[in-house]
Structure 1
């Protein structure tokens, strides 16, 4: 009975390098997708523009916008109808092939209307082609699907039940930008 030959150190190191490269790329790609969602919810144009390549494109319904300009377009559209929103990335899959990756990210968007009484929930997916150029993963093409919608009542927010809770901001005054985040010194708006 022969004992199987163990892998050489060189083979093990190559496998380890391949695994680390995959995990590093996967993490960078997910960070890119998440930064775009955060930029959306803070109306941070610079953050949103930075996740697209200069020639990147974003398709949201009938709007096909150059990626670096998408933040300004989205902020204007959202501010005309909503007072705040949250984009929640849930299921995320990613197929990496060298310097190109194809991703599918489920998104649930909650958008509170200007009437102060209603919230609209949207479920869809971001279908992304992400490319590594000059060492950075960015979106080359994003296509957005819409799968379902529903509406709800947000009048509870005005009832006083949430008095004292921190209220987010659509800019970099949001406490998530504070460094260091501090209980006493970080300015916040409250319900």
Structure 2
């Protein structure tokens, strides 16, 4: 194999890995935006004509941030989304991804909680050099309900942990991250 062929092969691999990471970063951004009620993070992950299919509802991507925040605020005090296993097929500037997701929700009042397990089935497109969601289909395949341990007003085990918040006052936005500050359990 010539030097040019090896270099071309290496460039293709680097581009594939770069695209794959940018796709994953886009998907994680939407979940972080959901949990921090950061509309800009959510909406910025969708193309202007992107769609989010949620059950039988088809929500335009630019409207999904407010839609998600209103829904989460109405049903729970805390929500956390975790993007788990992720597979991705990239064909040029179009990618199809399947990502397992766990959603954990402390219901209003903090006495009960739910965990939903499902998948994000995404078609992403790279436009103007940026990967964003063109269509997201969400599945829900497992739902568990039970007593909430946090936050229910009682001192949790290992108290003293920093509390998170659903806005930009959350410690994850602190730059630089410092050891002091933050409301604690």
TM range (shorter): over 0.9
> Residues of 1 paired with 2:164 and 2:170: CA distance?
6
- The alignment's TM-score, normalised by the length of structure 2, stands at 0.96
Match of 1:154 among 145, 148, 169: 148
> Residues of 2 paired with 1:155 and 1:179: CA distance?
30
- Do the aligned residues in 1 keep the contact of 2:96 with 2:121 (CA within 8 Å)? yes
Q: Superposition pairs for residues 2-151 of structure 1, below 5 Å?
A: 7-151=1-145
> Secondary structure of 1:159's match?
coil
Unaligned runs of 5+ in 2: none
Match in the other structure for 1:167: 163
- TM-superposed CA distance for 1:124, in Å, is 0.5
Residues 67 and 115 of structure 1: CA distance in aligned 2, closer, same or farther (over 3 Å): same
Kindly name which structure, 1 or 2, has the bigger radius of gyration based on alpha carbons. Answer: 1
- TM-superposed CA distance for 1:69, in Å, is 1.1
Aligned residue pair count: 183
> Residues of 2 paired with 1:188 and 1:124: CA distance?
32
- Do the aligned residues in 1 keep the contact of 2:115 with 2:144 (CA within 8 Å)? yes
Match of 1:182 among 168, 171, 178: 178
Q: What per-residue deviation string (whole Å, max 9, x for no partner) do you get for residues 23-43 of structure 1?
A: 000010000001111001001
- Do the aligned residues in 1 keep the contact of 2:103 with 2:117 (CA within 8 Å)? yes
- Do the aligned residues in 1 keep the contact of 2:20 with 2:88 (CA within 8 Å)? yes
Unaligned runs of 5+ in 1: 1-6
Question: Which stretches of structure 1, 4 residues or more, deviate above 6 A after TM superposition?
Answer: none
- The alignment's TM-score, normalised by the length of structure 1, stands at 0.93
